[in-house]
């Protein structure tokens, strides 16, 4: 795949992922308003969703992304029938694992609930958590098959179906969620537990809509796919058993890497309440965990959408270059990925930290603790993004065993530090332990990439320093303007906070863009498109 194709594929996935994340972020404004009078509602929602996320990764067993890598590998050899054979058997496997995961999560919901509720003084009870976990578990029936079809298209380096189905899934889920919660609370006058149960069940409804769209895409493209297969070599006869041996080797690291962020959150879910109860803060632990794992996390994860798109695009691309032994092309792809990722993620994360108060107010209303957590948590998005992409690179060069090690090291660091840091700093301690854990994992990933891909970081370090300088310069007018507007506008008012965000964000983006264009950094990263844009405006 050429560099321009990499950028185009990444752009399509980035756009789809960003729209999906954007919708997933903004629905919390009306959702928060609907459940505002229900203490612990958002915490209950998160208690149900977190085990679902982990079970989803186990149910798919990393197969969708592993299938993407597998198909890309054999397509590069023009052995298209191998990938189609795997796809057919994979549909059966994903259906079975989805049903199995659903049954386990549904039946063992009481066990999971008792693991997170530490005290009767908490706002949320064990019975409420059981009900919500069971409601969300139904989504496991359809999501694995849907994810496999996405992996199939990505293996053909076709990113459109994944991007569009992501958006449709999110739209349907959000509409059902908001309408359902409104009906339960204000029409049927039901309980908060019933409303949150409907909200989590929306994942199943969104999954069905996305699956239907992907089936439509497949049926529409099947004649072309059949023609491509018939024109290939199709000389290799690989048994299903041998296929799954290869898939299992690919899939285990994909499981762990794909669930890395939820696992870090799980450490908080399992240990945060223990630490807070131990220092006599059981009454506020649900609310602080809600801020950490739901409200601020929703905002922090937005800059990471780029990394997610890069990871999806990068795996088949790097696998193809690695399989062909094209080392120079492989190093160019790694180099460009690092630079574009940091170029876009750093200003977004730093800007969110600088404007934490109006950003939090816009989505959740004024809250001092929420603002303080977001200010320190936002820069961690850079670590989330770098970890995701470096792990994808390691899988692309068949060094996935090291991604398992790096994740385990990161989790062990997080687990060892979380309770003492939470006891010392409360919720900010959890943010700090997450940061240290991710740094440990990233350092291992970078060392592995340097060794096995013969990749030198000299240019990336040089460009990163330049980007840091640009971000510092950008921060100066943003902060001056922010404090100036603070004299006449109230950042605790939602409408005025929106105005502050728009004005300061626009100025920051403009300054960063001008610096990037003047220095020709944007040209080096994005090629002729930027040059043509400059010529048009000049």
* Nearest by Cα to 147 from 61, 88, 89, 60: 60
* Nearest by Cα to 132 from 45, 53, 202, 27: 45
The pLDDT assigned to 315 comes to 61
- Asked if residues 384 and 299 have their Cβ atoms less than 8 Å apart, the reply is no
pLDDT in tens, 92-151: 888 888 899 899 999 999 998 888 887 667 778 889 999 999 999 999 999 889 988 888
Compute the distance between CA of residue 141 and CA of residue 255 in angstroms, rounded to an integer.
Answer: 18
Q: Picking from 178-187, 248-257, 396-405, 510-519, which range would have the lowest pLDDT averaged per residue?
A: 248-257
- Asked if residues 345 and 379 have their Cβ atoms less than 8 Å apart, the reply is no
The pLDDT assigned to 353 comes to 95
Q: Picking from 63-77, 343-357, 485-499, which range would have the lowest pLDDT averaged per residue?
A: 63-77
Report whether pLDDT(303) > 50. yes
The pLDDT assigned to 1 comes to 45
- Asked if residues 86 and 133 have their Cβ atoms less than 8 Å apart, the reply is no
* Nearest by Cα to 468 from 374, 383, 342: 342
* Nearest by Cα to 134 from 41, 203, 208: 203
Q: What is the mean pLDDT of residues 425-446?
A: 96
The pLDDT assigned to 322 comes to 73
* Nearest by Cα to 404 from 268, 266, 307, 259: 259
Q: What percent of the chain has a predicted confidence (pLDDT) above 90?
A: 39
Residue 30 buriedness (CB in 10 A; 0-12 / 13-18 / 19+)? middle
* Nearest by Cα to 71 from 267, 228, 269, 176: 228
The pLDDT assigned to 176 comes to 96
Let me know how long the chain is: 538
Place of tokens 């993407």: 68
Q: What percent of the chain has a predicted confidence (pLDDT) above 70?
A: 89
- Asked if residues 477 and 511 have their Cβ atoms less than 8 Å apart, the reply is yes
Report whether pLDDT(508) > 80. yes
Q: What is the largest CA-CA distance in the chain?
A: 73
Our measurement of the distance from residue 234's CA atom to the centroid of its chain's CA atoms, rounded to an integer in Å, reads 36
Winning range, highest mean pLDDT, from 92-96, 225-229, 308-312: 92-96
SS3 of 271-296? HHHHHHHHCCCHHHHHHHHHHHHHHH
Compute the distance between CA of residue 244 and CA of residue 434 in angstroms, rounded to an integer.
Answer: 34
The pLDDT assigned to 401 comes to 79
pLDDT in tens, 170-217: 999 999 999 999 999 999 988 888 999 999 999 999 999 999 999 999
Distances in Å between the alpha carbon of 445 and those of 206, 223, 406?
A: 34, 41, 7
pLDDT in tens, 373-406: 999 999 999 999 899 888 878 877 777 778 889 9
Compute the distance between CA of residue 112 and CA of residue 105 in angstroms, rounded to an integer.
Answer: 9
Confidence of residue 48 (pLDDT cuts 50, 70, 90): confident
Q: What is the mean pLDDT of residues 465-471?
A: 94
Copy the structure tokens of residue 430: 């959890």
The per-residue pLDDT of the chain, averaged, comes to 85
Confidence of residue 13 (pLDDT cuts 50, 70, 90): low
Copy the structure tokens of residue 229: 């297969």
Compute the distance between CA of residue 208 and CA of residue 24 in angstroms, rounded to an integer.
Answer: 17
Looking at per-residue confidence, does 425 or 340 come out higher?
A: 425
Report whether pLDDT(538) > 60. no
């Amino acid at each position: 795949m050429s560099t321009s194709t990499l950028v185009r594929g990444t752009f399509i996935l980035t756009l789809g992922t960003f729209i999906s994340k954007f919708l997933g972020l903004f629905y919390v404004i009306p959702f928060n308003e609907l459940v505002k009078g229900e203490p612990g509602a958002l915490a209950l929602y998160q208690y149900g969703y977190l085990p679902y996320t982990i079970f989803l990764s186990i149910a798919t067993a990393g197969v969708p992304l592993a299938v993407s890598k597998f198909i890309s590998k054999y397509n590069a050899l023009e052995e298209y029938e191998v990938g189609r054979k795997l796809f057919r058997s994979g549909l059966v496997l994903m259906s079975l694992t989805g049903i199995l995961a659903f049954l386990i999560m549904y039946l063992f919901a009481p066990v999971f609930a008792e693991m997170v509720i530490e005290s009767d003084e908490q706002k949320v009870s064990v019975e409420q958590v059981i009900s919500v976990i069971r409601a969300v578990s139904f989504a496991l029936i359809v999501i694995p098959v849907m994810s496999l079809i996405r992996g199939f298209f990505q293996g053909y380096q076709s990113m459109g179906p994944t991007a569009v189905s992501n958006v449709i899934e999110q739209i349907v889920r959000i509409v059902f969620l908001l309408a359902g919660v409104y009906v339960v609370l204000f029409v049927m006058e039901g309980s908060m537990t019933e409303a949150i149960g409907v909200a989590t069940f929306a994942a199943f409804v969104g999954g069905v809509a996305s699956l239907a769209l992907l089936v439509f895409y497949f049926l529409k493209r099947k004649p072309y796919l059949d023609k491509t297969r018939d024109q290939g070599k199709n000389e290799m006869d690989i048994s299903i058993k041998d296929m799954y041996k290869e898939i299992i080797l690919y899939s285990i690291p994909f499981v762990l890497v794909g669930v890395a962020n939820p696992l870090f959150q799980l450490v908080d879910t399992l240990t945060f309440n223990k630490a807070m109860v131990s220092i006599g803060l059981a009454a506020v632990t649900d609310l602080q965990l809600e801020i950490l794992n739901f409200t601020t996390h929703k905002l922090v994860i937005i800059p990471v959408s780029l990394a997610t798109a890069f990871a999806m695009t990068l795996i088949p691309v790097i696998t193809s270059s690695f399989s062909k032994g094209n080392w120079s092309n492989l190093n160019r792809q790694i180099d460009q990925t690092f630079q574009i990722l940091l170029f876009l993620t750093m200003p977004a994360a730093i800007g969110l930290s600088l404007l934490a108060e109006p950003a939090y107010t816009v989505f959740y209303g004024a809250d001092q603790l929420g603002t303080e957590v977001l200010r320190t948590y936002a820069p961690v998005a850079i670590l989330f993004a770098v970890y995701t992409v470096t792990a994808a690179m390691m899988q692309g060069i068949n060094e996935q065993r090291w991604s398992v090690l790096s994740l385990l090291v990161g989790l062990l660091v997080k687990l060892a530090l979380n309770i003492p840091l939470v006891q010392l700093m409360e919720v900010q301690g959890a943010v700090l332990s997450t940061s240290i854990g991710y740094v440990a994992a990233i350092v291992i990933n970078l060392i592995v990439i340097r060794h096995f891909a013969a990749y030198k970081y000299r240019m990336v370090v040089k460009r990163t320093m330049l980007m840091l300088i640009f971000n510092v310069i950008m921060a100066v007018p943003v902060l001056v303007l922010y404090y100036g507007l603070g004299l006449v506008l109230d950042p605790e008012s939602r409408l005025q906070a929106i105005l502050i965000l728009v004005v300061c964000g626009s100025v920051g983006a403009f300054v960063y863009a001008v610096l990037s264009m003047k220095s020709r950094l944007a040209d080096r990263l994005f090629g002729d498109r930027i040059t043509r844009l400059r010529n048009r405006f000049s």
